[in-house]
Amino acid sequence: MLGVVLAGVLALQSPVGRLHAQEEGVAPPPAEQVLAIPDALRDEFKEKVMGIRSPEQRMYKLADFMLKPSGLGLTYEAYATRTVSESYQTRKVNCMAFTLMAVALAREAGLTAYAQQIDRVMAWDVTGDVVAQNLHANVVVVIGERKFMLDIAADRLAAPVVDYQIDDAHLLALFYGNRAMELLIDGKLAQAQVWQSQALRYAPEDATLWSNAGILLQQQGDLTGAEQMFLTAVEKNPRLSSAYSNIVALYQAEGKLVAAERWQKRAKRMLSRDPYYQFGQGRRLEQAGDLQAAIAYYRRAVALHRQEHLFHFFLARAYYQTGQLQQASVELDAAKRLSKGGDQLRYQSKIDALQRLRH
């Protein structure tokens, strides 16, 4: 189980026109409220953890307090970017919310603690017409010369630590940016814009935040502004594959094919390893009517990430449209096997229809 930090959002279509003129929502809390420990939590923490003299034992007790039912019993929820106070109320956290609480409580216990972000893609997710590269965050606690890692995904303290330390300002930026991307996925673009602007205030050096800001502008129809955000992201991090993918997608959507090809060549090696870039290219080619080229891209996406049911479904659909019914059946079976719930039922109905057609 991974905690999720939404980052590197890729547009599959541009723009989607989901901007709502009237959006009611909660404004970003001021920085001092994000890590603030509510009185009830402080009292409970003092009673169950603070009486232990040994710093190392206090650290282990902190982990138990957060994770075990005898304490807070925090459980994982993917889209639960919340302040410490909100997490205390709900007892539901993603890795960002867990990291915020762990940092705050460790310091309350007199321990040295800081956040770290693992700067590689841990998982992928697709919702509607956007794709998120899921990164990960956790906490490092330092006691003397030793370092320990506290992680919602591990459910325990662990060592050694992969050290990607970020300061508190960057941690706040990731909190605001996470929430912005959750709002984007919900279609609440005006709210998301406010949260994303707050994120950039705290970590203007973070290229991913600039790329995500570009997606927000693109979704609202500001293609010139989006282009500037993507170019800024590449300037700040020339190795950020999502920014290159977004630039290429933007230029293709605008019909600027020479510019798109130039950026494709510039980022060829990075994009060739990005399954969702391959998927996005396949969708665009399918929509343009070039089914054979779309099939080639869908097959590359499947080869790079075989566990994504959508890749198999779109490949099946392209096979069906080109009369390759046996291949379509194989990919539909894979899509059903890898999915669950409503998706699985929909795939089964398509499998049944395909079987009737073939017989």
> Residue 340's pLDDT is what?
84
User: At which of 189, 204, 219 does a domain end?
Assistant: 204
Low-confidence ranges of the chain (pLDDT < 50): 1-8, 14-22, 122
DSSP state for residue 205 in the 8-state scheme: T
Other Cβ atoms closer than 10 A to 26: 10
> Residue 66's pLDDT is what?
95
> Residue 121's pLDDT is what?
53
DSSP bridge pairs for 20: none
φ, ψ at 346 (rounded to 5°):
-65, -40
Contact 247, 278 (CB under 8 A): no
> Residue 19's pLDDT is what?
43
pTM of the model: 0.77
Q: How many residues does the chain have?
A: 359
Contact 91, 43 (CB under 8 A): no
Q: Is residue 255 in some structural domain? A: no
User: At which of 204, 233, 250 does a domain end?
Assistant: 204
Spatial separation of the C-alpha atoms in residues 34 and 42, rounded to whole Å:
15
Question: Does one domain contain both 299 and 192?
Answer: no
User: At which of 171, 186, 204 does a domain end?
Assistant: 204
151, 168, 317, 322 from 329: Cα distances, Å: 41, 51, 10, 13
Q: What domain range includes position 337?
A: 274-359
CATH, residue 32:
3.10.620
Contact 246, 14 (CB under 8 A): no
Spatial separation of the C-alpha atoms in residues 213 and 208, rounded to whole Å:
8
Q: Is residue 68 in some structural domain? A: yes
pLDDT digits (tens, 9 = 90+) for 129-162: 666 666 788 999 999 989 999 988 776 566 656 7
Question: Does one domain contain both 172 and 29?
Answer: yes
